[in-house]
């Protein structure tokens, strides 16, 4: 039996299918270009497996309902674009503080505000790092091809349950609406790899969901299972009961960071294309990486040794590997469909400010020619 299957689909449809295959049983959201197809597809698929999908009255209600489903122990999804994330921000902060697992697919479009609803952008990268106020450590993955619209959505559900927090999946208008053949894992393989959240099975009086090690997430039993605890957006102690006690508050916020930072090896993912013998390094992600790959191939045919580094996990960033690459390469070009939101992270990780950049914010995708021209211009 083959462990892969070929499908002809769009990126948005693959993200919806991945959610259902990964065990998602609830979706709540609001239609927003260019993410709407996710809601359309998942609304058709979920009732067939005993799940539910609800179109709420607005984006705020959508994420609130999805978080409520998560509190009951169900794998839950919401999907939107940048303006929707802005509206969901307050409740996303609640999910970070209360440690409710949730997958949020953001199909990026031009902004700010209403921006370019039907055009491509990667302008929500910085937003994905800190969509809500306060201190916490986001997890954000970014699909770079059709197959990854599926595989990264599956991975996001496992990461959400592992680290008990929202996990963002970034697509963009180009990759979300791209329609072509993709090779994705067999359903049996996906289901075999599902890793659900931990639960506590001891005596109810001994249950302390937030009384965990300093580098581990909360252990939240599904509601209505006989275990009593508080779930709040306030600072809280081991049982979830609100507190302002100094050390308890400090340890709580420290743990929200450490539960991610101490386990980055479980989260980080990236692709390196023709990097080993390259003289020039291009860094890019998402749909922009498709044009970068073609540019690398063309430049190689002309005798110019170029390679690509593509972060798949954007947050936390692959800072250690980028630092190594920064020491190896004198010539580095960052390519983004924004004004350089990830460039700052590349500069920080590499410890240098001499990174060249190619950006575009007019809602149009990069062509390989754009990148080839820039490489020849600056190097």
Last residue of a domain, one of 122, 157, 192: 192
**83 and 177 both lie in a single domain:** yes
Tell me, yes or no, whether 245 lies in a domain: no
Where do runs of H (alpha helix) occur along the chain? 11-21, 36-45, 59-71, 82-98, 125-129, 146-163, 173-177, 187-192, 246-261, 288-301, 319-328, 343-350, 368-378
Tell me, yes or no, whether 206 lies in a domain: no
Last residue of a domain, one of 192, 214, 243: 192
User: What is the pLDDT averaged over residues 90-118?
Assistant: 97
Tell me, yes or no, whether 211 lies in a domain: no
In this prediction, residue 173 has a pLDDT band, given cuts at 50, 70 and 90, of very high
Distance (Å, whole) CA 18 – CA 42: 10
Residue 48 CB: number of other CB atoms within 10 A? 8
Task: Give the β-pairing of 102-110 and 4-10.
Answer: unpaired
**282 and 164 both lie in a single domain:** no
Distance (Å, whole) CA 371 – CA 354: 18
Tell me, yes or no, whether 215 lies in a domain: no
In sequence order, the β-bridge partners of residue 280 are 306, 331
**28 and 167 both lie in a single domain:** yes
Tell me, yes or no, whether 345 lies in a domain: yes
Distance (Å, whole) CA 301 – CA 200: 58
Task: Give the β-pairing of 26-29 and 52-55.
Answer: parallel
**167 and 275 both lie in a single domain:** no
In this prediction, residue 2 has a pLDDT band, given cuts at 50, 70 and 90, of low
CATH number at residue 374: 3.40.50.920
Q: What is the pLDDT of residues 343-374, one digit of tens each?
A: 999 999 999 999 999 999 999 999 999 999 99
Which pLDDT belongs to residue 367?
Answer: 98
**15 and 104 both lie in a single domain:** yes
The yes-or-no verdict on residue 219 having pLDDT over 80 is yes
Distance (Å, whole) CA 30 – CA 356: 39
Distance (Å, whole) CA 29 – CA 35: 10
Last residue of a domain, one of 145, 177, 192: 192
**288 and 141 both lie in a single domain:** no
In this prediction, residue 79 has a pLDDT band, given cuts at 50, 70 and 90, of very high
Distance (Å, whole) CA 150 – CA 182: 9
Helix axes 368-378, 288-301, angle to 10 degrees: 60
Distance (Å, whole) CA 273 – CA 276: 8
Which pLDDT belongs to residue 73?
Answer: 95
Helix axes 11-21, 146-163, angle to 10 degrees: 40
**188 and 328 both lie in a single domain:** no
**46 and 172 both lie in a single domain:** yes
**46 and 143 both lie in a single domain:** yes
DSSP3 helix / strand / coil % (the chain, rounded to 5)? 40, 20, 40
User: What is the pLDDT averaged over residues 28-41?
Assistant: 98
Which pLDDT belongs to residue 224?
Answer: 87
Tell me, yes or no, whether 358 lies in a domain: yes
Of 79, 129, 125, 84, whose CA–CA distance to 288 is shortest? Answer: 125
In this prediction, residue 51 has a pLDDT band, given cuts at 50, 70 and 90, of very high
Domain that residue 369 falls in: 271-378
Tell me, yes or no, whether 232 lies in a domain: no
Q: What is the pLDDT of residues 254-287, one digit of tens each?
A: 999 999 999 999 999 999 999 999 999 999 999 9
Q: What is the pLDDT of residues 122-142, one digit of tens each?
A: 999 999 999 999 999 999 999
Please state which of the ranges 83-87, 185-189, 225-229, 349-353 shows the lowest mean pLDDT: 225-229
Tell me, yes or no, whether 231 lies in a domain: no
**19 and 152 both lie in a single domain:** yes
CATH number at residue 59: 3.40.50.970
**66 and 180 both lie in a single domain:** yes
Which pLDDT belongs to residue 1?
Answer: 45
Q: What is the pLDDT of residues 311-338, one digit of tens each?
A: 999 999 999 999 999 999 999 999 999 9
Question: Six-digit token pair at 1?
Answer: 């039996």
In this prediction, residue 23 has a pLDDT band, given cuts at 50, 70 and 90, of very high
Query: What's the total number of domains in the chain?
Result: 2
């Amino acid at each position: 039996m083959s462990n892969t299957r070929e499908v002809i689909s769009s990126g948005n449809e693959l993200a919806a299918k991945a959610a259902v295959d990964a065990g998602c049983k609830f979706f709540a959201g609001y239609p927003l270009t260019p993410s709407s197809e996710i809601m359309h597809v998942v609304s058709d698929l979920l009732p067939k497996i005993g799940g539910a999908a609800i179109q709420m009255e607005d984006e705020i209600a959508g994420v609130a309902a999805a978080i409520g489903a998560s509190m009951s122990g169900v794998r839950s999804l919401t999907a939107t674009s940048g303006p929707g994330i802005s509206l969901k921000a307050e409740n996303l902060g609640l999910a970070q503080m209360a440690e409710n697992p949730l997958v949020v697919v953001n199909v990026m479009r031009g902004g700010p505000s209403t921006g370019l609803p039907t055009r491509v952008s990667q302008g929500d990268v910085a937003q994905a790092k800190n969509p809500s106020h306060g201190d916490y450590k986001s997890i954000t993955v970014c699909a770079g091809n059709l197959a990854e619209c599926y595989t990264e959505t599956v991975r996001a559900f496992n990461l959400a349950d592992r680290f008990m927090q929202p996990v963002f999946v970034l697509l963009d208008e180009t990759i979300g609406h791209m329609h072509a053949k993709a090779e994705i894992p067999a359903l049996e393989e996906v289901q075999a790899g599902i890793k659900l959240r931990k639960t506590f099975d001891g005596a109810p009086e001994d249950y302390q969901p937030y009384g965990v090690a300093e580098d581990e997430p909360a252990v939240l039993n599904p509601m209505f299972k006989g275990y009593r605890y508080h779930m709040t957006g306030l600072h809280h102690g081991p049982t979830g009961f609100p507190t302002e006690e100094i050390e308890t508050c400090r340890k709580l916020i420290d743990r929200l960071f450490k539960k991610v930072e101490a386990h980055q090896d479980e989260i980080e993912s990236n692709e390196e294309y023709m990097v080993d013998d390259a003289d020039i390094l291009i860094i890019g992600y998402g749909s922009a990486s498709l044009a970068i790959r073609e540019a690398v191939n063309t430049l190689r045919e002309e005798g110019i040794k170029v390679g690509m580094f593509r972060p798949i996990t954007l947050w936390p960033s692959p800072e250690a590997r980028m630092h190594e690459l920064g020491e190896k390469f004198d010539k580095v070009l960052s390519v983004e469909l924004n004004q350089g939101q990830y460039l700052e992270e590349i500069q920080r990780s590499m410890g240098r400010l001499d990174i060249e950049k190619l950006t575009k914010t007019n809602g149009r995708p990069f062509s390989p020619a754009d990148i080839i021209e820039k490489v020849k211009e600056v190097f």
